[in-house]
Amino acid sequence: MTIEIKAVTEENRADILALHVSESQTSFIETVEKCLQDAEDCRHYQPAGLYFNGELVGFAMYGWFPEYDEENQNGRVWLDRFFIDERYQGRGLGKLMLDALIRHLARLYDCRRIYLSLFEDNVHALRLYQRFSFIFNGELDFNGEKVMVKEL
């Protein structure tokens, strides 16, 4: 089993743009196109394709945001967007990819915490994040989503 987290490049951009969630999930996450535009507008975002055994199965966007300064951490690491393509859902890939992303972010940013936010009615994502020890910290992000944090 091989899991890879690859930056979006000209070579994989079209395939990554073709990724999408099911119709019932579209209110929970932005389109890949919107994510890539956000990444162009904000240099802190790092969009990536998620690969399982060489096959593109999902998308993530993460980054270190220096505007947060808590306990001399000088910023926060956010897992800002994460989804498995509709065609690959229900196969356990969400758990595998989230585990890989957490380890990737911990190595990449040498951080003590990882933050994310979600709408609480996104019950499948909420259960997944809780399974990985993300807990609500009482904050809301600028979209009104509840912020969760994982201590490493």
Q: Which amino acid is at 21?
A: V
For the chain, the domain total comes to 1
The predicted-structure confidence for 105-126, as pLDDT tens digits, reads as follows 999 999 999 999 999 899 999 9
| Distance between start and end Cα atoms, the chain | 25
Catalytic residue positions, numbered: 129
**Helices 93-109 and 123-131: crossing angle, nearest 10°?**
60
Position 137 pLDDT exceeds 90: yes
Residue 41, domain CATH? 3.40.630.30
- Span 76-87, mean pLDDT? 96
Token pair 């969400």 is found at 94
The predicted-structure confidence for 15-73, as pLDDT tens digits, reads as follows 999 999 888 887 788 899 999 999 999 999 999 999 999 999 999 999 999 876 555 45
Residue 35: which domain range? 3-151
Whole-prediction pTM value? 0.92
DSSP run (H or E) holding 144:
none
